[in-house]
């Protein structure tokens, strides 16, 4: 029996060594399941990140023959004074200056929905799709809460982008430049700060 025990002990040591080797292999693989891998930043032209500031005006036009924002879901009849539940789709021009006749640099395309029962607050989901200069064809994606004109400056996160704004992150500050209470037409000034490659 004394001879069997050393033999079993050596077999146990070999089994434990094999198990340890296998576990070390899985850990060093970083959990790679075959569908994801780390890429070389230089090969994919990801240089040092840049911080850009963009300044423009957003024209949300609800009135007239050619509105740029249209309500597609009206609020239910039993809703609060906030219009809770209403949804509008927009294709609003972005211009260099506050006048609609100033140079157009892109469009704000997306939707906004009344998302609060007690106070006026919108959920904003939009892309700033640029059409000018080197940013032509690139876009920034915004998603956030808009407390409307009750706040002098509203802040939204920049959650991503396309084209020159791949991997973008940052924030947008919006302030009301002009608001027509009767028609709902508004000109909003935007300052957008974006970190991108």
**Which of 32-46, 109-123, 171-185 comes out lowest in average pLDDT?**
32-46
- Average of per-residue pLDDT across 115-130: 93
**Pairwise pLDDT comparison (167 vs 91), residue with the higher score:** 91
Please compute the mean of the pLDDT values over residues 111-137 and round it to a whole number.
Answer: 94
Confidence (pLDDT) at 80: 76
Comparing CA positions, the residue from 40, 43, 131 lying closest to residue 94 is 131
In the structure encoding, which two tokens stand for residue 191, read together?
A: 């300052």
As a whole number, mean pLDDT of residues 48-77 equals: 92
Q: Who has greater pLDDT, 79 or 23?
A: 79
**DSSP H stretches of helix in the chain:** 4-28
Reported as a pLDDT band with limits 50, 70 and 90, residue 6 is low
State the average pLDDT for the chain. 85
Please give the distance of CA 18 from its chain centroid, rounded to a whole number: 47
Domains in the chain, start-ordered, CATH in brackets? Answer: 50-196 (2.40.480.10)
CA distances from 110 to 8, 87, 90, 125, 128 (A): 70, 11, 5, 6, 9
Residue 149: CB atoms within 10 A of its CB come to: 14
| Residue predicted with more confidence, 90 or 196 | 90
pLDDT above 90 (res 29): no
Q: What is the dihedral of CA 141, 86, 66, 162, to 10 degrees?
A: 10
Q: Which residue has the tokens 């700060």?
A: 193
Confidence of residue 28 (pLDDT cuts 50, 70, 90): very low
For 14-59, give the DSSP string. HHHHHHHHHHHHHHHTTT--SS-----TTTTT--S-EEEEEEEEEE
The upper half-sphere exposure of residue 131, i.e. CA atoms within 13 Å in the direction of its Cβ, equals: 11
Summarize pLDDT for 128-178 with one digit per residue, the tens. 999 999 999 999 999 999 997 678 999 999 999 999 998 899 999 999 999
Strands (DSSP E) along the chain, which ranges? 50-60, 69-73, 87-95, 104-114, 122-130, 139-146, 153-162, 169-179, 186-196
Q: 70 pLDDT band (50/70/90 cuts)?
A: very high
Measured distance CA(123)–CA(165) in Å, rounded: 23
- The answer on pLDDT for 41 being more than 80 is no
Judged against a pLDDT cut of 60, whether residue 188 lies above it is answered with yes
């Amino acid at each position: 029996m004394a001879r069997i025990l050393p033999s079993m002990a050596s077999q146990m040591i070999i089994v434990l060594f094999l198990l340890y080797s296998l576990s070390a292999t899985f850990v060093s693989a970083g959990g790679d399941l075959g569908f994801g891998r780390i890429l070389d930043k230089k090969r994919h032209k990801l240089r040092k990140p840049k911080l850009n500031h963009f300044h423009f005006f957003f024209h949300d036009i609800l009135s007239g023959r050619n509105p740029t924002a249209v309500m597609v879901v009206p609020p239910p009849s039993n809703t609060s004074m906030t219009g809770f539940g209403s949804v509008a789709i927009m294709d609003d021009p972005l211009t260099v200056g506050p006048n609609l006749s100033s140079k157009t640099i892109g469009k704000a395309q997306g939707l906004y929905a009344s998302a609060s029962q007690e106070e006026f607050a919108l959920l904003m989901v939009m892309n700033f799709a640029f059409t000018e200069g080197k940013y032509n064809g690139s876009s920034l994606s915004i998603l956030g809460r808009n407390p409307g004109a009750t706040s002098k400056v509203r802040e939204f996160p920049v959650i991503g982008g396309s084209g020159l704004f791949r991997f973008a992150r940052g924030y947008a500050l919006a302030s009301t430049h002009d608001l027509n209470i009767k028609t709902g037409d508004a000109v909003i000034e935007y300052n957008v700060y974006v970190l991108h490659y």
